[in-house]
Amino acid sequence: MEQKLSKLFFKCVNELNKIGIDILNEKKYGKIEISISKRNNKRYGCCKQEEPDKNYKVISKSGNRKVIKYERFNKHHIEISQWVLELEDSIIKNTIMHELIHCMPYCNNHGVEFKKYANLINISYGYNISRVGDKRKDFEKSNIKYIEKEKYNYKIVCQGCKQEFYRQRIQKNFVRKYRCAKCRGKFEIIELK
Ligand SMILES: [Zn+2]
Ligand SMILES: [Zn+2]
């Protein structure tokens, strides 16, 4: 999996290069690291910013409070959620590209600058970078059954035929009381949270 991620990461880097964005130029964009997030994450990916660049300090006011923001960082750590790597390459690349944009100055949000680069990349290479992804669509495109796992607390697996389903609540004696309708096998309950 790590290999797949780094292969696709460098494909994205090359594509950015071809449209004049030398994203691995540390002087310009800072250092970028990428890894797989093993936590059970709802998000496709995230970009953790470190070492704010003092030359890019922006002070604004929110009511009476002073708000300090930085528009450039010297270090970025991109994490791609494990489940994303099960999807189609184009969707994985879409996620990597989205996070790479966050590494550029003035792009640590989904504002004007972010949109500018997203549009440029979308038009140049047919990406579909947006603020948030559409999980249902992305799973369908990858021919993987989409289950909104976050909603559920329990996964029930038949030990016979391995079919699985999800429940928010479960009866105390479920395992003793019920058998699989397909194969009469015993159920195993896995707590998700
Ligand atoms: Zn984002
Ligand atoms: Zn079964």
Q: Where are the domains of the chain?
A: 2-141, 149-191
Question: What is the layout of strands, in order, in the sheet containing 73-81?
Answer: 31-37, 73-81, 45-52
- Ligand 1 centroid from CA 109, angstroms: 6
Q: In angstroms, what is the span from residue 148 Cα to ligand 2's centroid? A: 22
2-141 CATH, one of 3.40.50, 3.40.390, 3.30.70, 1.10.3470: 3.40.390
CA 20 to chain centre: 25
Q: Kindly give the distance from the C-alpha atom of residue 110 to the centroid of ligand 1, in angstroms, as a whole number.
A: 6
* DSSP 8-state class, residue 177: H
pLDDT of residue 146: 82
pLDDT of residue 26: 97
pTM: 0.78
* Residue-wise pLDDT tens digits, 37-78: 987 678 999 999 999 999 999 999 988 899 999 999 999 999
For 69, the enclosing helix (H) or strand (E) is: strand 65-70
Q: What is the pLDDT of residues 25-38, one digit of tens each?
A: 999 999 999 999 98
Nearest ligand atom owner, CA of 132: 1
